[in-house]
Structure 1
């Protein structure tokens, strides 16, 4: 069985290293034999000059060392033979696995790390479009039935490829185990170090992270390690700890930064493989295989672009400094990451912003240089948010020293289309009508919230969840996990917080604005702050002028229609000589007004809630 071996790990193997090691073993064996033979001749020639018991004892002792040295030289030569064989067997197993993965990708499947093959989203969308075109878009029941039949057939093929890929993965594990055993056998029964007069220490096994652990369990494991064990984990397997919720922020940051060159190398290898698949599909004129392979190649290139943006973002000279709290370039259709401006472990107030439709790392994390938004991108907005919150705190006696951290959380795949670079790759807009993407992000976001609370060094940090657009739905679903660590939530430009009517298979659902059931609130999955694990009066919403998304009522009623939610004005306001302008549309809530170099009023409101000063947003007359 493959055990903990994964497809990316096997792809990252470098079998040529065994060949290089075989040459090194050969060199070491040769040098050792030359050295001990020379010393043996010198010692043996001392009989005429170094006599009696002392000389005889010296020569007897050297004979023992000489024999042990020859045993080591023999072992090095056996190791050479084992390493040479390993280069062949491991390389063959790696190539076979890559072939099986390539075949699966060519059939429109995605290959997960454990070898499981799943139907790609593109293939599902293509099937739905084909079925809808054949029976008519308005015949929902027939579409659903035919779609289910088609998915079942595709699942059979996915299962077949899963068997093939996992078999290849098991074969790689066998080759790995065989190489390990052969090399270990080559060096078995060697003279012990203490037989040469040296001391030795027994090795200890470093405990591994808990599988699927909660943030609390993750932290308990980390705290149980010695400093040496922590250093070993961080050095040898940074990918195992960078995304572990509950661990200290500086540990996650260091580990995730270490993964950037590793992930780049893996993605570049995937790019080369997929380029070959695309070329092969083009020669066979298999349009479906070509389309699927091209989509996978485009996604890989998108992740490379996302990774470059993340690297630029975290290496930027920023005050407060930026920390890479999460990095995942393997899951999903685009890169995933979480970047904090400021240290959440020492912060008194932590804001976590979840973006929505059209957001992705490449175009959203640092922004696209929009002249209307001089401090562009979510990280620029985070810096402005912190500055504005800090300014508000400085106006309150005894609170000027409170620290703030603001996090841009891209831990899921927001629907794309029309607002981001991925819209050029494939049609993804329809997914904004489903809760599926938000449901995928809910559990990891809830765990992330809890991890912040576990890792924070204060007694009880004030955590605010900020959800924009489709990200408000993701945030709502995460809060419904009832982690209980979030103190306030602000939803803005929200199409709804969750609906009771379930998604039909690949059939988008938007309740008509003003529809009878929607207006009654019967379709609302969230009817109180308690449903979100929050206290009454700690849920807020904002709706800018001319924001079409906030009137969609796509997932129950939009929160601006809910009387239990505190509604914040977005009208212009001047506070202490600082003007915060009004804004319009769907995208301006957290952005900076180029004319004033301040946040809009909506951003001022966000800063007030984040700072734990809700009265500044709800009743601006109380502001100095």
Structure 2
């Protein structure tokens, strides 16, 4: 009687209790702490010494603060090193978590095969024993490879944990930090000394950044995040890290002052804008990609909370601006400033979700861009003039130049302007030139006086798109043809939805148009889910132009007032979430 040798059970996989996201957050906190301590060193070396103060007390003061600054510089370098090691630890532990999932799957398959052999072994005919044994041996070989992979995985955990322990062991006391870092020059200083001037273009900035070593880049992100966080030509992922560090530092400092009731009026505005940026990022993180089911990537592309006399300048991205196939930048209009970025981000998220649901094969990034001083509060009268749009247009053009500079490929870029933001977008196109594929004007009071026709926007009239809800009073302000009815000019150029302007008008009616007492309700529905407008915006962003539902243009016959054919059409509900089976 032949004896069959069955393989041994595959090795059991140890449990791994680990939260890589929490480790990464810890690393970010350490980096923020490093930045705060570095600020102390900078203060001591800069404005803390009082040149006009003399005498014994002055000598004692200056002697006292100098060691404090040196200690701060050394501690900043030490914190920076541990922060970077912690970030690497998070990345490595995520890899190990993923590897364990694969090992569990492999073991399940091997156990299934082994159980099948065990059940079959007693019934194997004598003339098939050799073949059956060969199957057993083959499975034994696979199990042997698996056992080695588990051993390598377990060893990898131990190696990584030991490396983390060693990193902290060397930084547990001031004496250790002092011996290693006191008097060591900060790599950021020499790197920043080579930084291009303020008038350098984004291509030059990118060249400078890529010329730096990894240690120099990391040093800048810790010591001076503000020097690169809003700099066009720097990759979006780097700007996000720099701005996130600056945001965390601001929140820590200002909320401490708030708890002590020590905030000035300007600091209160600063804190409000910082919290708004944080809330906007959380909105992105709380939404899942409709295709992958994973949280949407967020990026803080601009963070300048004290800009424009406290209104703030900020841009939040839903998606990855460095890699996305299709990129939209949404420019808002009247009443918007840094405090409104959460709501703008919700609109960007809706467009992101609609585009992804429409075409899962393409990647998307949508930027909620509050990068200019829009008319609001004290300067709200600026909405009737173009000077704020002209200033904003320069900044918008710079933003697109920066996006183009960081990309080696040729992404599809779309400039979307809503309300006065459409005037800003139109002015950017006519006065500065926008290097984009398509321009979309939503609820537009006019694209600026320099745009008499869609062809003036520089992308070809076939790539100029207009969404105009027939009940939106703002979209009805532009000049509509051969004569300005009533001789009262309220708009900011031509009505881009009018036939003579030559743009593509798409369906943008809301199913609940005209509801409510506020006549401006329909002005804010262009990014609503399941709306005609959002569905068509997604098609444009994905480049699916043939699927855009065209609408009839407004026209202005000589014998009557302006006519909007969309007024009597019944709007339709569109599926912009991918919910239909």
After TM superposition, the score normalised by the length of structure 1 is: 0.52
Answering whether residue 399 of structure 2 is matched by residue 414 of structure 1, we say no
Report the counterpart of residue 301 of structure 2 in structure 1: 325
Answering whether residue 547 of structure 2 is matched by residue 589 of structure 1, we say no
Task: Tell whether the 8 Å contact from 1:493 to 1:549 is kept in structure 2 after alignment.
Answer: yes
Which of 602, 616, 620 matches 2:533?
602
Answering whether residue 538 of structure 2 is matched by residue 613 of structure 1, we say no
Answering whether residue 308 of structure 2 is matched by residue 348 of structure 1, we say no
Report the counterpart of residue 557 of structure 1 in structure 2: 494
Q: What SS class does the counterpart of residue 415 from structure 1 fall into?
A: coil
Please, what is the CA RMSD of the aligned residues? 3.9
Inter-CA distance 81–568: structure 2 relative to 1 (3 Å threshold): closer
Inter-CA distance 532–338: structure 2 relative to 1 (3 Å threshold): same
Inter-CA distance 429–275: structure 2 relative to 1 (3 Å threshold): farther
Report the counterpart of residue 195 of structure 2 in structure 1: 209
Deviation per CA, 1:160-215, whole angstroms, max 9, x where unpaired? xxxxxxxxxxxxxxxxxxxxxxxxxxxxxxxxx9xxxxxx9998922443122211
Task: Tell whether the 8 Å contact from 2:452 to 2:493 is kept in structure 1 after alignment.
Answer: no
Distance 2:540 2:395 in 1: 24
Deviation at 1:387, TM superposition (A): 2.2
Distance 1:474 1:226 in 2: 39
Distance 2:43 2:469 in 1: 60
Deviation at 1:275, TM superposition (A): 8.3
Deviation at 1:313, TM superposition (A): 2.2
Report the counterpart of residue 485 of structure 1 in structure 2: 435
Inter-CA distance 431–571: structure 2 relative to 1 (3 Å threshold): closer
Q: What SS class does the counterpart of residue 466 from structure 2 fall into?
A: strand
Answering whether residue 199 of structure 2 is matched by residue 232 of structure 1, we say no
Structure 2: segments with no counterpart, 5+ residues: 1-35, 50-57, 69-178, 288-294, 479-490, 515-520, 552-571
Answering whether residue 418 of structure 2 is matched by residue 453 of structure 1, we say no
Answering whether residue 235 of structure 2 is matched by residue 248 of structure 1, we say yes
Answering whether residue 504 of structure 2 is matched by residue 566 of structure 1, we say yes
Report the counterpart of residue 4 of structure 1 in structure 2: none
Distance 1:606 1:556 in 2: 23
Deviation per CA, 1:559-588, whole angstroms, max 9, x where unpaired? 12243111112247xxxxxxxx46454433
Report the counterpart of residue 50 of structure 1 in structure 2: none
Inter-CA distance 468–617: structure 2 relative to 1 (3 Å threshold): same
Q: What SS class does the counterpart of residue 494 from structure 2 fall into?
A: coil
Task: Tell whether the 8 Å contact from 1:16 to 1:87 is kept in structure 2 after alignment.
Answer: no
Deviation at 1:531, TM superposition (A): 2.8
Which of 465, 469, 492 matches 1:544?
469
Structure 1: segments with no counterpart, 5+ residues: 1-8, 23-77, 89-192, 194-199, 278-296, 367-376, 394-399, 418-426, 500-524, 573-580, 593-597
After TM superposition, the score normalised by the length of structure 2 is: 0.55
Q: What SS class does the counterpart of residue 314 from structure 2 fall into?
A: strand
Report the counterpart of residue 5 of structure 2 in structure 1: none
Which of 351, 356, 367 matches 1:385?
351
Q: What SS class does the counterpart of residue 190 from structure 2 fall into?
A: coil
Deviation at 1:327, TM superposition (A): 0.5
Q: What SS class does the counterpart of residue 269 from structure 2 fall into?
A: helix
Deviation per CA, 1:38-88, whole angstroms, max 9, x where unpaired? xxxxxxxxxxxxxxxxxxxxxxxxxxxxxxxxxxxxxxxx99774348799
Task: Tell whether the 8 Å contact from 2:232 to 2:403 is kept in structure 1 after alignment.
Answer: yes
Distance 1:211 1:201 in 2: 23
Inter-CA distance 329–550: structure 2 relative to 1 (3 Å threshold): same
Deviation at 1:415, TM superposition (A): 1.3
Task: Tell whether the 8 Å contact from 1:492 to 1:589 is kept in structure 2 after alignment.
Answer: no
